[in-house]
Structure 1
Amino acid sequence: MTSTADDARPTAADTAPNAPRLLLGHGRALTEHVSAHGPLPALTGPEIIARTEQAGLTGRGGAAFPTGRKLAAVARGAGRKGTVVVANGCEGEPASAKDRTLILNAPHLVLDGVQLAARAVGARQAHLCVHEDEHDIRNTLTAALAERATALPAEAPITLTLVPHRYVASEESALVRALNGGPSLPAHTPPRPFERGVGGRPTLVDNVETLAHLALIARHGSAWFRARGTATAPGTTLVTIGGAVRNPGVYEIPLGITGADLLALAGGAGAPLQAMLCGGYFGSWLPADTFAGTEISAPGLAAAGSAIGAGVFVALPRTSCALAETAKIAAYLAGQSARQCGPCLHGLPALAKALRELAASGGTRPAHNLQALMPYIERRGACRHPDGATRLIASALRAFPEEVRAHADRKRCPAVHRAEQRDPHQGRRYGT
C-alpha cells in the first residue's frame, strides 16, 4: 500500500523549526543519505504529481513555474516513445552558488529527485547536465551514481551530460538542443521542451534544487513542505547572498521572510547600502530601504517590481557607482549572448557601450542612446537573453535617477561624493 498525499515521515527538520531541509550536513555517502532521509518512497507517478501539486512547489531555477503542473503536462504527453527528464545543474548565473553547494553536499537528494520525476512522467531516460569545467561537481556526481548502481535499481538510467560553461548554455531549450546533437544555444520557440524536446519526446527540464525539494515532498508530504514559508509561497529555498554583507554565502531560508531578515542571516551589511540586486544578472535593482521591507518570495518581489530569479541577492554599498556596476554586468551579458539575432548581436553591445560611456564619461548622448535603444531590443530577440539584459538596465535607470542625472550632466557621481565623505582623499571626476 502506497502513502497518501499528506503522510509524513519524521525528519530532523521537524524537530528544529529553523533547521535546513536540503542541507542537513549528513554527508555525501549513500548510506548517510538513506539514514537521514529514508529510502525512496513507493509512490506511483500520479501520486507524486498530486503530492507535488498540493505542496505548491515552484521551480527554483528562475521562472518559479508550478512544478506539479509541469510534471502533469509532460506526463500527459507520454506516448509510445515515452518521455525524458533533464536535470539542470548548470549554474550559468555567475553570482549564484546554490546549485553547486547543493550538489556537493547532497548529491543523492538530487538523484532521488531525478528518479522520482522520471517515475512521475513515465520517463525511460534521464540526463543530469553540469558544466564541463566543474570537475569537483562531476567527480561528486560520478561517485554518487556509481554507489547507486550497486545499491539501488535504476528506474530510469541517469546520464551525466557535460555542457559548455556559458551563460546561455543552461537555458532549457539550449540543453535540449545540445542533447539533440546541436549547439548549446537557445532554440526558437514554440514548441517548448514539455511538448517536444529530447528526441522529439515530451521533456521535463527542472533545476536540481527543484528536484531535491520534490524528493523531500515525496517522502514527507505536502503538509510538511507547507509548514515553512507562506500560503502563496510555501517551503524553503536556497539563496546566494553576496556583495557588501559580512558573511556572504549560500543560505536556506523559509520563503516569506523580509529583506531585512535576509541581510541579518548574512551577518548584516558590511557598509551602508544603496541597493540590492535581486534575482541575479537577469534580475533588477531595488533601493535598500525598499528591499528591507520586501517579502522574499516570487510574489513578494514581483509586487516590489523585482524577481527572485535564481535566488541571488547582491548588496551594493553607497560608495559604489550603481551605473558602473550595472555597466559591467551589461558588458558581460553582451559577451555571453547567443548571437543568433539582431537584438543580441548588435543591440546588447550597443546598450552596454552606451551604459559604459554614461558611467565613465557622462553626457546626454549616452543617456539618450540608452532610452532610444531599449524599445528596439525588448521582446524582439530569438530567445529571452535580450529581455533579461534590458530588464536589468531599465531597473538601474529607475532605481538610480540621481546617478543618471548627475552622469548625464557630467556632475560629480553621488557615489564619489559619498565616498569622499568617508575618505576625503578619494575625490575624482569623470574622465580622470
Structure 2
Amino acid sequence: MTFLITEPSPRGREDLAAYRTRGGYAGLDRVRAEGGRWALEQVAAAGLRGRGGSGSGCPLAAKWRRMAASAASDRYVVANGAESQAVSQKDRYLLTHFPHRVLEGLLIAAEAVGARQAFLCVRGDSGAAVEAARRALAEAETAGLIGTVAVAVQPTVPTAVSGEETALLDALAGLEGYPQPQPPRPEEAGLRGCPTLVQNVESLAQVAALFRHGPERVRAAGTRTCPGTALFTVTGAVDRPGVYEVPYGTRLSDLLRMAGAPPVDEILAVLPGGLGSGPLRPDELDVPLTYEDLAALGTTMGTSAVVVFRRDGASLPEVVRENVGLMAQASCGQCQGCKEGHLALARALEAGDMAEARRRAEVLLYGRGNCALPTGTARFALRALQSFPETEWQALRTRPEAVPRTQR
C-alpha cells in the first residue's frame, strides 16, 4: 500500500522530532531556497487536486497561479479544517495525528504565493485536533521554522456551511460566517478584500508530501488525471469504520472490503462523498474513486465520506427523507431559494409524492445559492429518485426518531 499523506499505525500525535526523521520541513527549506515560481512549477508538475468538500478536485496550481498573479501587497493563506459534515472525519484525523504535515504545507503555500499571514482553521468541537494543531505550531515556532509568516490556529463553529471557503473567510473577518457570492474568487478578493488562498488541510498535507518526495513519487500512485493518494472516511454499516488512505483510482468495492462492508446483496446503497453526494446502487460499487468516474455516474467525491447503508436497516425513502430534512435544518437561511427549496423537497418526501419530489429536486439542483449546500441536497435526492428501482420507493414508513441514522 502506498502512503504519501499519512503513515501506517501512528502512535498518537506525530511530533516535530518524528516528522523531521521522515524528511519533514526539508521541502519548506527547498522552497525558501528555490523561490515561489519553482514551487508553483512543482505543484503543476505533480498535478495535485484540491481535497475540499465541493468534490470538484480543482487543480491546486490554478488557484496558486491566480494568487501569485495579484499585484496586491497584502495577501493571506488559510488552511481549511472546518469539516462541516459530521460523517467526515478525515481532516480531524489528519490534524490530530499529523499536524506538522498540514503546517508545513501551509507554510510552503504561503511562500509560494507571497503571503505573510496564515490561518490554520480547525473544527472547534474537536478538542484533540485543536490541541494537536496548537502544539505543532508551538514546536515549529520554537525550532525557528515559521520564518516571516505569522500563523494562527483558529477554531471554527461547527455548522453545515462553516467549511465553505467564503463562509470561513466571513467568520475570520468577525462576521456571521455565511457563504458569500462568487465571483470574485477568494484568490482575487478574499479576507479583508485581499487575495486569499483557501486550501483544505488534506490538500496542504499533499503539498508537504510532494516537496518531501518529489512529483515523480506522487505521480507513481493514482491515475493520470488524479495523481497520488487520498483520504476517505468510511462509516455506516461496516465492521472497521475509520479513515483510509488509498491511491486515486482504487475501486470503491475494494475500499469497502478494507473497511469490512457487508456482502453486496446485503447493501442498500452507498454514499461515496457524504450527504451531498448521490447514492450508488450495489451494482455500481466497482467504480474507480476519481472525480471523473464518480461524476459520470451522476454523483461526486464530495467530502470523501463513504457511508454504507444495509438492507436490514432503514428503507431508501427513509434514508433520503431523513437526510434531506437534516440538510433543510442545516441551511443558514441566507438564500431564500435554498431555504424554501429544501423545505419544499422535504415536504414532498414526507407526503410520499415522488413526482413532486423529483420536480423540487430538479429546481433545487439548478438554483443559484451562495454555496453548494442546495446542489448537494438535490443531487443526493435526485439520484436516489432516478437511479434506484421503483420497488425501493413503494412503502414510506414513518419512524418516531428524529435523529438521522447517519448521525447515530
* TM, length-normalised to structure 1: 0.85
2:124 to 123, 128, 132: 132
Which residue number in structure 2 is paired with residue 211 of structure 1?
204
Distance 2:58 2:347 in 1: 34
Change (3 A) 1:268 1:370: closer
Distance 2:94 2:142 in 1: 23
Give yes or no for the alignment of 1:106 onto 2:98: yes
1:192-341 superposed matches below 5 A: 192-269=185-262, 272-291=266-285, 293-319=286-312, 320-341=314-335
* Secondary structure class of the residue paired with 2:323: helix
1:379 to 340, 350, 366: 366
Q: Give the deviation of 1:19 after TM superposition.
A: 4.3
2:6 to 23, 30, 38: 23
Distance 2:266 2:202 in 1: 32
Distance 1:37 1:153 in 2: 14
Q: Which runs of 5+ in 2 are unaligned?
A: 399-408
Q: Give the deviation of 1:399 after TM superposition.
A: 2.6
Does structure 1 retain, via aligned residues, the 8 Å contact 2:5–2:206?
yes
* Secondary structure class of the residue paired with 2:222: coil
1:356 to 336, 350, 360: 350
Q: Give the deviation of 1:53 after TM superposition.
A: 0.7
Which residue number in structure 2 is paired with residue 85 of structure 1?
77
Distance 1:325 1:375 in 2: 19
* Secondary structure class of the residue paired with 2:3: coil
Q: What is the one-letter code of the residue matched to 2:163?
A: S
Q: Give the deviation of 1:40 after TM superposition.
A: 3.0
1:154-185 Cα distance to aligned partner (Å, 9 max, x none): 23111111221101011001011112222111
Does structure 2 retain, via aligned residues, the 8 Å contact 1:342–1:381?
no
Distance 2:145 2:96 in 1: 23
Give yes or no for the alignment of 1:368 onto 2:355: yes
Q: Give the deviation of 1:404 after TM superposition.
A: 5.6
* Secondary structure class of the residue paired with 1:256: coil
Does structure 2 retain, via aligned residues, the 8 Å contact 1:323–1:403?
no
2:110 to 111, 114, 118: 118
Which residue number in structure 2 is paired with residue 33 of structure 1?
19
* TM, length-normalised to structure 2: 0.90
Does structure 2 retain, via aligned residues, the 8 Å contact 1:87–1:129?
yes
Q: What is the one-letter code of the residue matched to 2:357?
A: L
Q: Give the deviation of 1:78 after TM superposition.
A: 4.2
Q: What is the one-letter code of the residue matched to 1:371?
A: R
Q: Give the deviation of 1:405 after TM superposition.
A: 4.9
Does structure 1 retain, via aligned residues, the 8 Å contact 2:166–2:179?
yes
Which residue number in structure 1 is paired with residue 60 of structure 2?
67
Of 173-182 and 395-404, deviating more is 395-404
Of 396-405 and 27-36, deviating more is 396-405
Q: Give the deviation of 1:325 after TM superposition.
A: 0.8
CA RMSD across the alignment:
1.9
Does structure 2 retain, via aligned residues, the 8 Å contact 1:40–1:112?
no
Does structure 2 retain, via aligned residues, the 8 Å contact 1:78–1:202?
no
Distance 1:378 1:289 in 2: 25
Q: Give the deviation of 1:57 after TM superposition.
A: 0.7
Q: What is the one-letter code of the residue matched to 2:19?
A: H
Q: What is the one-letter code of the residue matched to 1:395?
A: R
Does structure 1 retain, via aligned residues, the 8 Å contact 2:362–2:378?
no
1:66-114 Cα distance to aligned partner (Å, 9 max, x none): 0111111111114233x21010011112211111111111000000000
Does structure 2 retain, via aligned residues, the 8 Å contact 1:58–1:210?
yes
Distance 2:361 2:259 in 1: 35
Q: What is the one-letter code of the residue matched to 1:22?
A: I
Distance 2:218 2:305 in 1: 22
Alignment identity in percent?
35
Does structure 2 retain, via aligned residues, the 8 Å contact 1:280–1:312?
yes
Which residue number in structure 2 is paired with residue 145 of structure 1?
137
Distance 2:164 2:205 in 1: 19
Distance 2:123 2:256 in 1: 30
Distance 2:145 2:234 in 1: 38
Q: Give the deviation of 1:375 after TM superposition.
A: 4.2
Which residue number in structure 1 is paired with residue 404 of structure 2?
none
Q: Give the deviation of 1:51 after TM superposition.
A: 0.7
1:50 to 35, 41, 46: 41
Distance 1:376 1:296 in 2: 28
* Secondary structure class of the residue paired with 2:230: strand
Q: Give the deviation of 1:302 after TM superposition.
A: 1.6
Does structure 2 retain, via aligned residues, the 8 Å contact 1:128–1:158?
yes
Q: Which has the higher contact order (CA 8 A, sep 6+)?
A: 2
Of 24-33 and 177-186, deviating more is 24-33
Q: What is the one-letter code of the residue matched to 1:64?
A: G
Does structure 1 retain, via aligned residues, the 8 Å contact 2:361–2:379?
no
